[in-house]
Amino acid sequence: MSETRWLTPEESRAWRALQHLNMPLAAALNRQLSRDSNLSTADYAVLVQLSESEGEKLRARDMVVAIGWEKSRLSHHIRRMETRRLVGREDCPTDGRGAFITLTPAGRTAIEQAAPGHVDAVRSYFIDLLTPAQLESFAEIAEKIGARLQADGCAEIETGVEAIAADCPGN
């Protein structure tokens, strides 16, 4: 076993800054959405994906990949959103096992009403605090970390739903 590479003070500062940023930012954005639109950030994530997709529908497996959730979490959340009539399900004509998640008129209205306030909050808590160069750097950093997490993850890239048990850390 190799020796632990402890964090330098600079590395520790960056890591702790990320930890102290993540939860409060997510909480602030969730509070804003809940207060202004009665949506959660999870609801918003689903509605954004659907509203931006062709025909305002996505296969469940594609939604799993787009949002980065596990299949079971998506399934439970979609069920809750269905009861609120924000989304629906539609059978896939080419695959009897597959289904589309669809945006309903109520879901379209919800995202259209929620988006302006949410974008204002994102600007206030993030975008407007950084220079264009910092935003570019941040995007590059986040994409690099995201690619590493995806490469090391347990979900199969093609479908987003099949576990690769042999290669999955912790299995």
Give the model confidence (pLDDT) of 16-73 as tens digits.
Answer: 999 999 999 999 999 999 999 999 999 999 999 999 999 999 998 899 988 988 889 9
Looking up residue 96, the CATH number of its domain turns out to be 1.10.10.10
pLDDT at res. 36 = 94
Measured CA to CA, the distance from residue 23 to residue 125 in angstroms comes to 13
- Residue 64 included in any domain: yes
Rounded to two decimals, the pTM is 0.79
Position 21 in a domain: no
Which residues are within 8 A (CB) of 136 and not within 5 positions of it... i.e. 6 or more apart? none
Contacts of 102 (CB under 8 A, 6+ apart): 50, 56, 57, 87, 88, 89, 90
Chain-centroid distance of CA 98 in Å reads: 21
In a domain, 27, yes or no: no
> The domain containing residue 76 runs over which residues?
37-114
Domain count, the chain: 1
Does any domain span residue 65?
yes
**Residue 92 domain flag:** yes
